[in-house]
Chains A and B, each alone.
Chain A
Amino acid sequence: QSALTQPASVSGSPGQSITISCTGTSSDVGSYNLVSWYQQHPGKAPELMIYDVSKRPSGVSNRFSGSKSGNTASLTISGLQAEDEADYYCCSYAGSSTSVVFGGGTKLTVL
């Protein structure tokens, strides 16, 4: 199964907003509202930021939001802060045989 497609890198200045896209197919992102997003700082384990396309776990800042249109999901981070600099991965359920597929990851740089 192919990984979901994310841009390799995005950047923004403090206070700005950025959006990271995650493009899949009608077999994964397009068929299920089971898209999640993970933040990973260097040397650390991933952390759940968004699940079920747009839900935020308790404790995650409301500066993080998620959406989906067709086969593409998006993560938006508003009011960028230095601590947001990290790698971000999307993930989708892909049916009973494949189960789960991750995106290739996006490196966010806060300028």
Chain B
Amino acid sequence: VQLVQSGAEVKKPGESLRISCKVSEYSFTNYWITWVRQMPGKGLEWMGRLDPSDSYTNYSPSFQGHVTISADKSISTAYLQWSSLRASDTAMYYCARHGDDYHFDYWGQGTLVTVSS
């Protein structure tokens, strides 16, 4: 099982961004994909999750409306996107898979997003 995330990004406030998480060696539609934020020197924060089988999503109230989680089943890839970045979005972002029991057994390597003017 592998979750491979896209590379580091440097953006300016107000810009848009989409980062990706491509999975392999398991059936993409059999597990949820979750996104987790880790701000510099801080802890893990659950952002939201997606069911790749039907693209159903739900978000943490802390992130609802600021990010969008989506997926392309044809290429076994999940996405996390912002339409207008803020400096406070600077963080490492991880994708992870989980089943109905909500434990994250495989993680991506992380994507560092830096937002600075």
Contact = CB atoms under 8 A, between A and B. Distances in A.
A96 B56 CA distance: 13
Nearest to B43: A105
B103 A46 contact: no
Query: Contact residue range for chain B?
Result: 20 to 34
Contacts of A38: 44, 104
Contact of A34 (B34, B94, B96, B103): B103
A52 B101 contact: yes
A105 B44 CA distance: 8
Nearest to B44: A102
A20 B46 CA distance: 21
A6 to B, nearest CB: 9
B102 A34 contact: yes
Contacts, number: 69
Interface in A30-45: 34, 36, 38, 40, 45
A100 B102 contact: yes
Contacts of A98: 60-61
Interface string B33-74: 010100000011110110000000010111000000000000
Contact of A46 (B49, B60, B107): B107
B60 A34 contact: no
Given A46-B36, A46-B107, A102-B45, 18 more contacts: A3-B43, A36-B102, A36-B104, A45-B107, A45-B108, A45-B109, A45-B110, A51-B103, A51-B105, A57-B105, A91-B44, A91-B104, A93-B101, A99-B58, A99-B60, A100-B102, A102-B46, A103-B43
10 contacts: A1-B61, A34-B103, A38-B44, A45-B94, A46-B104, A51-B103, A91-B104, A93-B101, A98-B61, A99-B48
Interface of B: 34, 36, 43-46, 48-49, 58, 60-62, 94, 96, 101-105, 107-110
